[in-house]
Structure 1
Amino acid sequence: MTSDMIGYIGMAGLLVMLVLRVPVALSMLVTGFLGFASVIDVDAAISMMKSVPVEVLTNYSFSAIPMFIFMGVLASHSGMAGSLFDASRKLFGGWKGGMAIAAVSSCGIFSSISGSSLATASTMSRVALPEMERNGYAPSLATGALAAGGTLGIMIPPSIALLLYAILTEQSVGDMFAAGLIPGLMGLLFYIITVWVVVKLRPNVASPSDPTTLIEKIKAITGLIPFGLVFMVIVFGIYGGLFTPTEGAAIGAFATLLYAIFTGLRLAGLWSAVQETLALSAIVFFMIVGAETLGYFISASRVSFTITEYVANLGLPNLGVLLCLLLLYFALGCFMDSIAMLLITVPVVYPIITALGIDPIWFGIITVLTVEVGLISPPVGMNVFVIKATAPHVKLGEIFRGVIPFIISDFCRLALLIAFPVLTTALIAH
């Protein structure tokens, strides 16, 4: 049996394990080990299994991940989400649908600290959904806004997904964060516009927020300053070359810790945050070890090169290949975690886009955005089920109806980024 045939069988086996709900990390690890043993030999596979965990755990670039996770967990445990939503609600006080706009805005700002879509959706829904329900908001708008707002965590830097993509493809983390800034802010703006349009077309789904005075709005803006400072220090510090991504993650985590302590975080809360950070970091690193093992198998079987040659022989234009890849990511995004999906697919897809001469940073942003759309798309949008777990009294169909306008908004943003790559590359230093 040829090595590329073993590669195809291995990838098919990986998909079967994922469908059977075998943990993603374990699926990649088993496929990588058995596949590498089949292509090379068992002794080489055992040797690889000894070295890969050491390589991953001693890789300096990956050490930024626990720090970014710690930032998000601290923000969740210290009540920052509640303060953020309260400030945003006062800022948009008196607006029809103001609470929904505040929820989306809070998600966008919170995601700049958490770096995770699922964490953003889970945390903000606990804070904002009860308030919107008490004020007569339709369940579809309330849950749809939170599910969609949560997806901003995957794009607005510092994003763990963008960080991993940069490391996997050996791109500059600073450039990836800079490239994600405009698309991320576009998403926030487009979601706010979407809420406004929905409320205009269906006035009964929302009620006006309690009016607030100019002084209250100014105080609300002042309350957002700490979040903005953490965001600017990390992104502009990394982009400006003042410190490395790992140093930036440590500085951001320390700043978030100081703010959490200042706002009342107790020792018990800190210990709980540390425990949660360790658990989440272990899961992510287990997935990275699995992905590295799978990558060795893919390289040894040369399946990625075979696929690249096949795609080249099809004679499709670059746009056609890009749309096919994005369709794949959109489908996978409906039922798979974004980090796991990137770890599995990037080793296969990256040689294809480099062979076609596609800008890898631009492709990374387009890919992450497509994954973002998949997180709220039927039938298995991950963020939708996070909201459902937080609000079991809301019907699943109601949540999916609520996210449809936001999906349309995302497709409009995706079309703009494909048509005008400068929106992605404008902030990258050349």
Structure 2
Amino acid sequence: MPPEIAGVIGIGVLLVLLAIRTPIALAMAAVGIGGFTALVGWTPALAILETVPSDVLTNFGFSAIPLFVFMGVLASKARMAGELFDMARTVFGAWRGGMAMAAVMASGTFSAISGSSLATAATISKVALPEMEKKGYAQSLASGVLAAGGTLGVIIPPSIALLLYGLITEQSVGELFIAALIPGLLGVVGYALAVWIVVTLRPGLAGDSMPSTTLGEKLRSMRAVGPFLVIFLIVLGGLYTGFFTPTEAAAVGTFATLIVAVMRKVSLTDIVSAIGESLAMSVVIFFMLLGAEIFGYFLSVSRLSFYISDLISSAGMAPMGVLLCILLLYLVLGCFMDSMAMMLLTVPVVFPAVMAAGFDPVWFGVITVITVEIGLITPPVGMNVFVIKASARHVPLGAIYRGVTPFILADAVRLALLILFPWLMLGITV
């Protein structure tokens, strides 16, 4: 059997395993070992099982992942999310839909220290959803804006998804983080505009506005942003100047967050609990990394990615057509698959085709993560939707899906702008 055909069969088997709800990490590992055995032999396949776990778990670059995860969990334990929402509510609360806009701003700011979409959605929803419901906000708008706001954790640095993309494709993590700044800000602005349009067309969704606040009160409330700004500048500044490696930046950022937590008198019990939560989340990520690494060996010997690249070249497809096909694939997969698993599975396959089409790898990385981000709130799965549902069991799932629709449209507009105007990202990475 030609190796390319074996690669296609392997992808098909993998999709079947995912359809019957096999854990993604186990499915990738099983297909990887089975395919490698079929193409190379059983003894080399056993050698992969012997070496891959130690290679992944001792990879210095991957050590940044649990540190960034711990940084976000620790920030949550330090009650930073509540202060952020209070600050944003003081600034925007008197506007029509102001509390929904405050939820967007709080999500965007918390993302600058979290790096995880699911953590951002879960943390901000615990604080903001009860307050919006007290003010009479419709369940669809209140839950939808929190599910969408959580996706900002994927793109606003430090982003675990961008970190993984950089490690997989051997691109500069610092350049990826810098390139994601403007897209992240566009996401915040786009979501706020989506709220404004929704409450303008249907004012009844927004509930009651808060009393107006003075300029002095607004300025005093902004002190809550201080710790986030300091930690964000330390991490991003160190990466951009080359003073820190990604792992060193994660370590310094975590230490700074720990100092803030201690200053806020976070108990030792909460710190230990944060370590436990971070370890649990990190184990899931590393298990997926192990499966992806084993599956990657199979892809290499099948030469499937290069076959796809050659097929596209021989078909004479324009570069933009290649990009749109890949993004469409991500949108479809996003309806059924977790975002991190989707990246680990697909990036090794499509990256050679992207390079052959002449696209900038940093630009494509940010575009990919934004497309994956849309999948986090797209039916019928949408992981962020289920995070909100878990936090608010009384809110119907249908209401959350209705609520995220305007924000999916806002994401589509942002994605189109970034494709049409690459300098929005690449202009600040030079």
Flag whether TM exceeds 0.5 (same fold).
yes
TM-aligned CA deviation for residue 299 of structure 1: 0.3
Q: Pick which of 143-152 and 334-343 moved more.
A: 334-343
TM-aligned CA deviation for residue 158 of structure 1: 0.4
TM-aligned CA deviation for residue 183 of structure 1: 0.3
d(CA) in 1 for partners of 2:61, 2:211? 47
Checking the alignment, whether the CA contact within 8 Å between 1:75 and 1:113 is kept in structure 2 is: yes
Tell me if 1:267 matches 2:271. Answer: no
Deviations 1:146-168 (A, max 9, x none): 01101101000000000000110
d(CA) in 2 for partners of 1:205, 1:23? 39
TM-aligned CA deviation for residue 23 of structure 1: 0.9
TM-aligned CA deviation for residue 316 of structure 1: 1.3
Q: Pick which of 45-54 and 212-221 moved more.
A: 212-221
What is aligned with 1:10?
10
Checking the alignment, whether the CA contact within 8 Å between 1:334 and 1:382 is kept in structure 2 is: no
Match of 2:394, SS state, is coil
Structure 2 residue identity aligned to 1:421: P
d(CA) in 1 for partners of 2:257, 2:331? 33
Deviations 1:194-216 (A, max 9, x none): 11111111111112123222222
Deviations 1:173-220 (A, max 9, x none): 000001111101110011111111111111111121232222221111
Checking the alignment, whether the CA contact within 8 Å between 2:180 and 2:425 is kept in structure 1 is: yes
Match of 2:26, SS state, is helix
Structure 1 residue identity aligned to 2:354: I
d(CA) in 1 for partners of 2:53, 2:309? 29
Checking the alignment, whether the CA contact within 8 Å between 2:93 and 2:102 is kept in structure 1 is: no
d(CA) in 2 for partners of 1:209, 1:378? 33
TM-aligned CA deviation for residue 5 of structure 1: 1.6
What is aligned with 1:406?
407
d(CA) in 1 for partners of 2:211, 2:239? 40
Checking the alignment, whether the CA contact within 8 Å between 1:97 and 1:209 is kept in structure 2 is: no
Tell me if 1:343 matches 2:344. Answer: yes
Structure 2 residue identity aligned to 1:66: P
TM-aligned CA deviation for residue 271 of structure 1: 0.7
What is aligned with 2:316?
315
TM-score by structure 2 length? 0.98
Q: Kindly report which structure 2 residues correspond to 1:159-178, keeping only aligned pairs within 5 A, or say none.
A: 159-178=159-178
Deviations 1:121-147 (A, max 9, x none): 111111100000001111111111101
Deviations 1:210-261 (A, max 9, x none): 3222222111111211111111111121011121111110011011111112
TM-aligned CA deviation for residue 310 of structure 1: 1.4
What is the total number of aligned residue pairs between the two structures? 429
What is aligned with 2:228?
227
What is aligned with 1:427?
428
Q: Kindly report which structure 2 residues correspond to 1:173-322, keeping only aligned pairs within 5 A, or say none.
A: 173-206=173-206, 207-322=208-323
What is aligned with 2:326?
325
Structure 1 residue identity aligned to 2:313: A
TM-aligned CA deviation for residue 407 of structure 1: 0.9
d(CA) in 1 for partners of 2:265, 2:141? 33
Structure 2 residue identity aligned to 1:394: V
Tell me if 1:58 matches 2:58. Answer: yes
Q: Kindly report which structure 2 residues correspond to 1:83-98, keeping only aligned pairs within 5 A, or say none.
A: 83-98=83-98
Deviations 1:237-296 (A, max 9, x none): 101112111111001101111111211210110111111111111111111111111111
TM-aligned CA deviation for residue 378 of structure 1: 1.9
Deviations 1:332-389 (A, max 9, x none): 1122221111110011010111111111111111111111111112222211111111
Query: Structure 2: 5+ residue runs without aligned partners?
Result: none
Structure 2 residue identity aligned to 1:117: S
d(CA) in 2 for partners of 1:214, 1:23? 52
What is aligned with 1:153?
153
Checking the alignment, whether the CA contact within 8 Å between 1:144 and 1:402 is kept in structure 2 is: yes
TM-aligned CA deviation for residue 2 of structure 1: 2.1
Checking the alignment, whether the CA contact within 8 Å between 1:66 and 1:277 is kept in structure 2 is: yes
d(CA) in 1 for partners of 2:90, 2:261? 22
> Structure 1 segments of 4 or more deviating over 6 A?
none
TM-aligned CA deviation for residue 111 of structure 1: 1.0
Match of 1:158, SS state, is coil
Q: Kindly report which structure 2 residues correspond to 1:61-72, keeping only aligned pairs within 5 A, or say none.
A: 61-72=61-72
Structure 2 residue identity aligned to 1:253: T
d(CA) in 2 for partners of 1:357, 1:105? 36
d(CA) in 1 for partners of 2:111, 2:332? 24
Structure 1 residue identity aligned to 2:342: M
Checking the alignment, whether the CA contact within 8 Å between 2:339 and 2:375 is kept in structure 1 is: no
TM-aligned CA deviation for residue 109 of structure 1: 0.7
Of all paired residues, the percent bearing the same amino acid is 57
Checking the alignment, whether the CA contact within 8 Å between 2:108 and 2:188 is kept in structure 1 is: yes
What is aligned with 1:29?
29
Structure 1 vs Structure 2 CA RMSD: 1.1
Tell me if 1:126 matches 2:111. Answer: no
Structure 2 residue identity aligned to 1:124: I
Checking the alignment, whether the CA contact within 8 Å between 1:74 and 1:257 is kept in structure 2 is: yes
TM-aligned CA deviation for residue 394 of structure 1: 1.2
d(CA) in 2 for partners of 1:132, 1:343? 36
Query: Structure 1: 5+ residue runs without aligned partners?
Result: none
Checking the alignment, whether the CA contact within 8 Å between 1:159 and 1:177 is kept in structure 2 is: yes
Q: Pick which of 306-315 and 42-51 moved more.
A: 306-315
Checking the alignment, whether the CA contact within 8 Å between 1:335 and 1:382 is kept in structure 2 is: no
Checking the alignment, whether the CA contact within 8 Å between 1:147 and 1:376 is kept in structure 2 is: yes
TM-score by structure 1 length? 0.98
Match of 1:294, SS state, is helix
TM-aligned CA deviation for residue 93 of structure 1: 3.1
Checking the alignment, whether the CA contact within 8 Å between 1:156 and 1:181 is kept in structure 2 is: yes
Structure 1 residue identity aligned to 2:333: L
d(CA) in 1 for partners of 2:91, 2:229? 15
d(CA) in 2 for partners of 1:35, 1:265? 50
Match of 1:74, SS state, is helix
Checking the alignment, whether the CA contact within 8 Å between 1:3 and 1:39 is kept in structure 2 is: yes
d(CA) in 2 for partners of 1:37, 1:287? 20
Deviations 1:389-416 (A, max 9, x none): 1111111111111111111111110110
TM-aligned CA deviation for residue 306 of structure 1: 1.3
